[in-house]
Amino acid sequence: MLPFPSTPPHLSPTHLNTPLPSHFQLQETKATNTGERSDIFKLIRLIMQRGYDPCIVFSFSKRECEALALQMVSLDLNTDAEKKLVQAIYTNALECLSEDDRCVGGKGGVWVGG
């Protein structure tokens, strides 16, 4: 039986607690509705332009999440075929709801119900 290898130095717990150099640290986004594009928006646009999609972005602030989503509305993230599929799924999901529930979402928000 082979001995279990030791943890490589770059993965050791003490190394993981070492702060990153300042040029590697992400700064707080501070997404706003003032028309100024956030760093996250610029990063997503770059990812899409270079074909590195899909990606997942996390925000732990409800307000920032909404502001980022509103910024992303201007990006065209889907192909025409994907747009048709999204529309079909959305329409089918709405048809499963009662009339009252269909009118709940979207007043001034990101999505708009039928």
* pTM for this entry: 0.50
pLDDT band, residue 21 (cuts 50/70/90): low
In terms of pLDDT, which residue wins out, 38 or 106?
38
Domain residue extents for the chain = 29-94
User: Which tens digits make up the pLDDT trace of 47-85?
Assistant: 999 999 888 988 899 999 999 989 988 888 888 999 999
- What are the structure tokens assigned to 42, written together? 């610029």
The span from the first CA to the last CA of the chain, in angstroms, equals: 64
Give me the pLDDT at residue 73, please: 87
Other C-beta atoms closer than 10 Å to the C-beta of 29 total 17
Output the CA torsion 58→46→43→68 (10° steps).
-70
